Amino acid sequence: MIIHRRPVALALAGLLAMASGLTPLAAQPAQPCGTPKDVQAEWRALDSELQRLGYSVKQRQSLLATARKEMAGIFAGQQPRGSSACSPNQSTAMVLGCTRSVLPGTLSSGPANLDEPKPWRDDKRFKPPWNAKTYTVREFLFIGMYSTCLSNAIKLM
C-alpha cells in the first residue's frame, strides 16, 4: 500500500492549525457577555422569578435593593479592560440573568423548610453578608447564588 505524503502532511497541518487556534472560527473573540440587554427588564424578570419561587414582598425588596446597591458600587464608572470585556450594563444584566437561572435548581435541592430563620453566627472575623442578624434559608441561598454570579461577572470586566 502506497501512502501519499502530501495529503497526510496537509491533514496533519490542518489538525495542528486547528489545535493552535489559527482557524477563522477560533480567531474570533469570545463574547461571554452576549448582546447588550435591558437592565431594567432583567431586574423585573428576577423580581418575578423570586415571587414565583415563594419569596415574600419584604424579602424581595430587601434582597434586590441590597443587590442593586452592591452592583452600582462595583460596576459604576468601570470601563471594560479590552475589547472582549463586558460593559457595566452587560455585567449587571449577566449577574441578574445568572441568578435568575440558577436559583430554581438551588431552591429545589435545598432543605425542606426554606423559611426557617437561621442566625448569622456571631463571629468578629465575618460580618453578616447583608447587614442582618437573621436570614431564612431561602435568603441565604439567594445571597450565595447572587454572590457566585457576581464574582464571575467581575472576572469578565
C-alpha distances (whole Å) from 144 to each of 63, 106, 138 are: 12, 10, 10
Helices 137-156 & 57-75 angle (0-180, nearest 10): 20
Q: Of the candidates 61, 60, 150, 32, which has an alpha carbon nearest to the alpha carbon of residue 98?
A: 150
pLDDT confidence of residue 59: 92
Number of domain units in the chain: 2
Eight-class DSSP state of 80: -
Say whether both 12 and 85 belong to one domain: no
Number of H helices, E strands in the chain: 6, 2
H helices of the chain, in order, are 5-20, 24-27, 39-52, 57-75, 88-108, 137-156
Say whether both 14 and 48 belong to one domain: no
Say whether both 53 and 9 belong to one domain: no
Say whether both 54 and 117 belong to one domain: yes
Long-range contacts made by residues 42-47, C-beta under 8 angstroms, separation at least 24?
42/92, 42/93, 42/96, 42/97, 42/100, 43/68, 43/96, 45/96, 45/97, 45/100, 46/96, 46/99, 46/100
Say whether both 90 and 22 belong to one domain: no
Say whether both 65 and 3 belong to one domain: no
Task: Give strand pairing partners of 126.
Answer: 123
Domain that holds residue 16: 1-29
Say whether both 113 and 36 belong to one domain: yes
pLDDT confidence of residue 121: 66
Say whether both 2 and 41 belong to one domain: no
The C-alpha atoms of residue 41 and residue 104 are separated, in whole angstroms, by 19
Say whether both 53 and 118 belong to one domain: yes
Say whether both 35 and 20 belong to one domain: no
In this structure, the number of other CB atoms found within 10 A of the CB of residue 113 comes to 10
Q: Can you give the pLDDT of all 157 residues of the chain as single tens digits?
A: 444 443 333 333 333 333 333 322 222 334 456 666 688 899 999 999 999 999 999 999 999 999 998 888 887 766 656 555 677 888 888 899 999 999 988 888 766 778 877 766 666 655 656 666 778 888 888 988 999 998 888 887 6
Say whether both 70 and 139 belong to one domain: yes
The C-alpha atoms of residue 65 and residue 124 are separated, in whole angstroms, by 25
Say whether both 59 and 102 belong to one domain: yes
